[in-house]
Chain A
């Protein structure tokens, strides 16, 4: 079963930062926080992952709270192409992913 809780939907204005929250209060010490997104009828696309430190790459930033019970994915300048379902997953590296329901992000012009 999925160990994460996300809001079902969010809107964001184009050009603004999109902040997507995720709760994972039962995360274990060896579990990473992964973020993927899925555009309609495509396979999920990897965005970013982290263990306990904040991470940043060319797509997004990942902020993990000190107790690791929640995290936030930040898309710094949302574009229309960022409209997708965003999934937060916690899992040990190399292990099975159990997807929750995700957050449907709509970027509004």
Chain B
């Protein structure tokens, strides 16, 4: 199957700082990328959908000014957690789909810890 990478895999930051997470599709062009958040012992929660070259669509309850998403190319989307707080500590996972494949391919996830 197709490969999606995330960087970094793990990040620890101080409260009030911003953190950028990258999601790359390595061997296909991703017309759409999705960002999820997963708290311990819970399921994945969709945060937003991003299409290359257009603004992201956020799910209800997700602050677009706090979670900035950029999908500047067909292989890269970034999620920036601005002014991070301890409650933003979570496992952030991206996925990507192309126009030719029906399934979504998920990245390995990024563990964010805000102190």
Chain A residues within CB distance 8 Å of chain B: 2, 32, 34, 36, 38, 41-46, 49, 87, 93-94, 96-102
Would you give the shortest CB distance from A47 to chain B, in whole angstroms?
A: 9
Contact at B102–A43, with CB atoms within 8 Å?
A: no
Beyond known contacts A97-B44, A99-B46: 5 more, CB 8 A cutoff: A43-B6, A43-B109, A46-B105, A49-B102, A100-B43
Category for how many chain B residues contact A: 20 to 34
Would you give the shortest CB distance from A18 to chain B, in whole angstroms?
A: 20
What are the residues of chain B within 8 A of A41 when measuring CB–CB?
91, 109, 111
B34 CB within 8 Å of chain A: yes
What are the residues of chain A within 8 A of B108 when measuring CB–CB?
42-43
User: Quick one: which of A32, A38, A43, A94 contacts B32, CB cutoff 8 A?
Assistant: A94
What are the residues of chain A within 8 A of B34 when measuring CB–CB?
96-97
Complex Cα–Cα for A45 and B73 (A): 24
8 contacts between A and B (CB under 8 A): A43-B4, A43-B95, A44-B95, A93-B102, A94-B97, A97-B44, A100-B43, A102-B43
